[in-house]
C-alpha cells in the first residue's frame, strides 16, 4: 500500500525542552479541496453511492462554514453525483466563502433554522427526508458514519509503515475520525497505541458515547484512547486573540499551517499538555493534520483573522 500523506518531523524549542519527538501526518496535503479527514471519510461513502444502483445522489448536513460541506460539494462535482447540503442558518449565508464554492461546484443548498437542524440525527426526521428523496444516500454531519471509519482506519495502516510512535493525537468534532483511528489501531497492531482526541466544542462528553456507538465490536476492546473535553477554548470556532497568536507563532516556527477551529486547537492542547508534564520523556507523538484550511477563508472574510497574517486558501475551479 502506498501512503497518501507524508509523515513530517516537526521542530519546536518546547519539544527539545520536554524531550519529545513530534511528527505531523500531513493529511492536509492529500488534496487541495478534499483535504484531511474529509478525503478519508468520504472515500467509502462515495464509493458506496457509485456502486449502489438505488442511489443517484447524496444529502448531508453542515454549518455555513462547514469543511465537510465544502469537500463533499467538490467530491460530488468530480464524480458527477448530484448533492444537496442541509445548512444550519439563513439563506444569506449562501454567498459566504465556503458556500459560494459549494454552489459553484453544483451543490444545492437548503437552509434550516437551528431547531430543525438539531433534528439531524433523529430517526423520524431522517426517515421523512429519505421518503422525500428516496434515491439519495444520507451522510451524517461531518461525514461520520461506519463507512467513514474504514477510510480513516487506513491512516493507521500508513502510519504503521512510516514510523514507530507512542501517541497519536487528533482534533475531534463529530467523533468519526477518532473512532476510525481507534478501529484501525486495534485491527492492525498487537500492542495498541495511545490515541488522544481533542474536542473542539464545549460540553463534548456526549461524544464518548457517540464514538463508542460508531466502533465495531473488535474496536470496543481498545482501552488506550481518551477524549479531552477541556481544550475547547470557549466553544466551537471560538478562540481568543492570544490563542490565534499562539497558533500563528507555532505555524511560523514549524513551517506548517494549522487553523484555529480544529488542528490549531490540537496544537494548543499539545502545548498545554507539554507544559503540564503530561508526556513521559522520549515520547514519540504523531499529530494528525485533518485539513480544514478552507475555513480560514471564512474567518478572514468575517474579519476574525487578519488577512495579512493568515493564508487565504486557494480554491480549484474544478
Ligand atoms: C478540519 C477538520 N478537522 C477535524 C474534524 C473533526 O473530525 P470528526 O468530525 O470526525 O471528529 C473536522 C470535522 O469533521 C474537520 O473539518
pLDDT digits (tens, 9 = 90+) for 137-181: 999 999 999 999 999 999 999 999 999 999 999 999 999 999 999
Whether the CB of 68 sits within 6 Å of ligand 1: yes
Residue 250's nearest CA partner among 16, 14, 6 is 14
* Ligand 1 atom nearest to 177, measured from its CA: 10
Helices (H) and strands (E) in the chain, counts: 12, 10
Cell (9 digits) for 152: 480513516
**pTM (predicted TM-score):** 0.97
Specify the residue with its C-alpha closest to ligand 1, atom 15.
292
Residue 2 confidence (pLDDT) above 90: no
Whether the CB of 295 sits within 6 Å of ligand 1: no
**Cα-based distances in Å from 76 to 56, 60, 68, 232:** 11, 12, 12, 32
Q: Are 142 and 40 in contact, with CB atoms under 8 Å apart? A: no
Instruction: Tell me what pLDDT residue 315 has.
Output: 76
* Ligand 1 atom nearest to 291, measured from its CA: 1
Whether the CB of 175 sits within 6 Å of ligand 1: yes
Whether the CB of 176 sits within 6 Å of ligand 1: yes
Whether the CB of 39 sits within 6 Å of ligand 1: no
Q: Phi then psi for 13, rounded to 5 degrees?
A: -55, -35
Distance from residue 17's CA to the centre of ligand 1 (Å): 30
* Three-state secondary-structure class, residue 238: coil
pLDDT digits (tens, 9 = 90+) for 19-72: 999 999 999 999 999 989 999 999 999 999 999 999 999 999 999 999 999 999
Residue 318 confidence (pLDDT) above 80: no
Q: Are 22 and 285 in contact, with CB atoms under 8 Å apart? A: yes
Whether the CB of 264 sits within 6 Å of ligand 1: no
* Ligand 1 atom nearest to 259, measured from its CA: 1
Whether the CB of 197 sits within 6 Å of ligand 1: no
Whether the CB of 18 sits within 6 Å of ligand 1: no
What residue ranges define each of the domains in the chain, with the CATH number in brackets?
Answer: 7-33+145-301 (3.40.50.1100), 37-143 (3.40.50.1100)
pLDDT digits (tens, 9 = 90+) for 257-292: 999 999 999 999 999 999 999 999 999 999 999 999
Instruction: Tell me what pLDDT residue 264 has.
Output: 98
Residue 241 confidence (pLDDT) above 70: yes
Whether the CB of 171 sits within 6 Å of ligand 1: yes
From 61, 142, 214, 231, the mutation candidate for ligand 1 (largest count of ligand atoms within 8 A of CB) is 142
Amino acid at each position: 500500500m502506498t501512503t497518501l500523506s507524508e509523515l513530517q518531523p516537526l521542530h519546536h524549542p518546547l519539544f527539545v525542552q520536554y524531550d519529545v519527538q513530534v511528527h505531523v501526518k500531513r493529511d492536509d496535503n492529500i488534496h487541495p479541496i478534499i483535504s484531511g479527514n474529509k478525503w478519508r471519510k468520504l472515500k467509502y461513502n462515495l464509493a458506496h453511492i457509485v456502486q449502489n444502483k438505488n442511489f443517484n445522489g447524496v444529502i448531508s448536513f453542515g454549518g455555513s462554514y462547514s469543511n465537510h460541506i465544502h469537500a463533499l460539494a467538490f467530491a460530488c462535482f468530480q464524480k458527477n453525483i448530484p448533492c444537496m447540503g442541509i445548512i444550519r442558518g439563513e439563506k444569506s449565508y449562501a454567498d459566504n466563502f465556503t458556500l459560494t464554492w459549494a454552489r459553484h461546484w453544483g451543490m444545492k443548498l437548503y437552509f434550516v433554522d437551528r431547531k430543525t437542524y438539531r433534528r439531524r440525527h433523529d430517526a423520524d426526521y431522517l426517515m421523512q427526508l429519505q421518503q422525500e428523496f428516496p434515491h439519495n444516500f444520507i451522510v451524517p454531519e461531518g461525514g461520520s458514519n461506519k463507512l467513514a471509519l474504514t477510510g480513516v482506519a487506513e491512516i493507521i495502516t500508513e502510519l504503521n509503515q512510516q514510523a514507530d510512535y507512542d501517541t497519536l493525537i487528533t482534533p475531534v468534532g463529530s467523533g468519526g475520525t477518532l473512532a476510525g483511528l481507534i478501529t484501525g489501531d486495534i485491527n492492525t497492531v498487537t500492542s495498541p497505541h495511545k490515541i488522544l482526541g481533542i474536542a473542539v466544542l464545549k460540553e463534548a462528553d456526549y461524544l464518548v458515547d457517540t464514538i463508542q456507538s460508531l466502533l465495531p465490536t473488535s474496536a470496543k476492546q481498545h482501552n488506550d484512547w481518551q477524549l479531552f473535553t477541556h481544550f475547547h477554548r470557549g466553544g466551537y470556532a471560538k478562540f481568543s486573540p492570544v490563542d490565534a497568536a499562539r497558533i500563528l507563532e507555532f505555524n511560523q516556527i514549524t513551517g506548517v499551517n494549522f487553523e484555529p477551529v480544529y488542528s490549531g486547537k490540537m496544537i494548543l492542547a499539545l502545548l498545554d499538555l507539554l507544559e503540564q508534564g503530561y508526556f513521559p520523556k522520549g515520547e514519540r507523538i504523531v499529530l494528525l493534520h485533518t485539513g480544514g484550511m478552507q475555513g480560514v477563508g471564512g474567518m478572514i472574510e468575517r474579519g476574525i483573522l487578519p488577512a495579512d497574517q493568515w493564508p487565504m486558501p486557494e480554491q480549484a475551479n474544478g
